[in-house]
Structure 1
Amino acid sequence: MDVSADALASFAVFADHLNFTHAAAELHISQPALHVKIRKLAQALGRPLYHRVGRRLVLTADGEAVARFARAHDERMADFLAEFAGTAPRRPVVLAAGQGAYLYLLGDTIRAALADEPTRLRLINCDHRQMLAAVRNGQAHLGVGVLDVLPDDLTAAELASFPQVLLMPDDHRLARQDAVTLPDLAGASLVVPPQHRPHRALLERALRTTGTPWTVAVEAEGWPLITHFVTLGVGLAIVNGCVPAPPGVVARPVTDLPPVTYHVVHQPSARADPRVAALLERMRAPNNPDATAALAP
């Protein structure tokens, strides 16, 4: 096989963008030149490295493995050059997570990590599918998210678990109860995520199973906006229990919905990197206020 370090480095940049225009611009080469590099790399390896799904480019499993190797190769080279020059390695640990994890779970971990070594942590904000892809292709060392199914090719550990709760004005009739069930919501108008979001699909399936009639008050993306609409009186909302209830709003657990569990995932070999292992331990430490509050009954 004729596989050059330059071809691997170019493919790693392409894997970051999954867009030939953006990747070629970062590499300061033409799109045709990048096409040639990646085509020759795929030919040398004897396997397709990406395919098209609709308008999107997606890495194949082999493409994820090549991207992961290419990034690991770059990291080893950077470590060697730093050691050769007598300086400390400065490459960052990369963490990928979604909005909810950053807002309500990882704040103290990130704050402490940045206070210790402000240049050694980089964050990626993405949904759970993008998070898994980032960990698989080596773009991120660690990922945090709510997973419907635990991946069998990555190491996953429970980080925190929350009940699902109903947010409502403190003068609502259900606010007098300690907990609610889905049938209690019959006829309610709910603030919900857009239809493509996993939480929306879970809610619709659960409400349909219990035969609970309901209507959409408004579709909103992200817990802060959903919560804001509840404060305005637009409707009620079922959210993860990590979302704080603002003044004038109360939260009651929904007893017939399963808890929401956040997992941290990484490559099986990730713990061999002491920087990654240290961040992972900090994230899971019993004295981490975020995790402690999340796991409290």
Structure 2
Amino acid sequence: MDERAGISADALASFVVFADHLNFTRAAGQLRISQPALHVKVRKLAQALGRPLYHRSGRRLVLTADGVAVARFARAHDERLADFLAEFAGGEPSRPVVLAAGQGAFLYLLGDAIRAVLAEEPTRLRLVNCDHRQMLATVRTGQAHLGVGVLAALPDDLSAVELATVPQVLLVPDGHRLARRRSVALRDLAGAGLVLPPEPRPHRTMLEQSLRAAGVEWTVAVEAEGWPLITHFVALGVGVAIVNGIVPAPPGLVARPVTDLPTVTYHAVHRPAALSDPRVAGLLDRLRPPAR
């Protein structure tokens, strides 16, 4: 890098770690430097570029669009250097392909593909568990090569590939009055106690808006984080729940499609240039559903 411009490889490498954590204390700990020293590195990098690289949103630090671009460039620079050194030494690239996704995708959608990749080459794949917002951020900054999740809208700056489209289903005990139906509508939930994710999770917001639009009165039976705990509460008889159709109904529960809720689509997203790496392209092929 051009030291005269005040931009060094060290500053870029430090910024990548900061971008991963968006927390000066944790990033400084990983870098084994003091928090004030990291502040200075990030501030000087921003001054050299003439652009702010992050800002505060409430209690969180958030990268600016320029910060995302710098993190992506710095990570790509490190990867190209690592690949060159491996090739120069007569070896193969050793860095893993990074896949970011949420709990539901890892539990119910991606397991077979991950198992197959790890069976071939255990060091080839690294997994990052995060929510959909963090997943998009990790792909944009280059922390992950591929991300998988349910997206409210397809991002303009990333390429997206459809992996699976499933209905939203009502989970109820097999002795419940609605278990005898082949499908249900929102109006059938009048007076029900629902097991819901906490606010402001997108699934919770969507359900509240849909139930309100349908004129359905309901109550919160309990709030639970993650499909396994939601399913567990339904099995205990605490309430009923609407979940994505990839969630299997365990013994004692049945799943019934909710006819007046939209289907849910899981997409894999990546930066447009990511598939130039054959290992990333190969992982995406593994994730795609088989051709019919």
- Establish whether residue 273 from structure 1 lines up as the match of residue 277 from structure 2: yes
Distance of 1:285 and 1:181 partners within structure 2:
29
- Establish whether residue 76 from structure 1 lines up as the match of residue 80 from structure 2: yes
1:131-170 correspondence to structure 2 within 5 Å: 131-170=135-174
Distance of 2:260 and 2:284 partners within structure 1:
32
Contact 2:164 2:289 in 1 (8 A): no
- Establish whether residue 244 from structure 1 lines up as the match of residue 248 from structure 2: yes
Partner of 1:206: 210
Contact 2:71 2:142 in 1 (8 A): yes
Partner of 2:110: 106
The percent identity for this pair of structures is 78
1:166-181 correspondence to structure 2 within 5 Å: 166-181=170-185
Distance of 1:228 and 1:20 partners within structure 2:
38
**3-state SS of the aligned residue for 1:119?**
helix
Shift in Å at residue 47 of structure 1? 0.4
The equivalent position to 1:234 in structure 2, one of 235, 238, 242, is 238
**Greater mean alpha carbon deviation, residues 211-220 or residues 33-42:** 33-42
**3-state SS of the aligned residue for 2:216?**
coil
Compute the RMSD of aligned alpha carbons. 1.1
**3-state SS of the aligned residue for 2:123?**
coil
TM-score by length of 1: 0.95
Shift in Å at residue 285 of structure 1? 4.3
Q: How many residues align?
A: 288
Distance of 2:161 and 2:102 partners within structure 1:
17
Report the residue type matching 2:178 in the other structure: L
Distance of 2:34 and 2:181 partners within structure 1:
64
Unaligned segments of structure 2, at least 5 residues? none
Partner of 1:93: 97
**3-state SS of the aligned residue for 2:249?**
coil
Deviations 1:241-288 (A, max 9, x none): 11111111111100000001101100011111111000001111407x
**3-state SS of the aligned residue for 2:122?**
coil
Regions of 4+ moved over 4 Å: none
Shift in Å at residue 2 of structure 1? 3.2
**3-state SS of the aligned residue for 1:161?**
strand
**3-state SS of the aligned residue for 1:257?**
coil
Distance of 2:17 and 2:118 partners within structure 1:
26
Distance of 2:169 and 2:289 partners within structure 1:
26
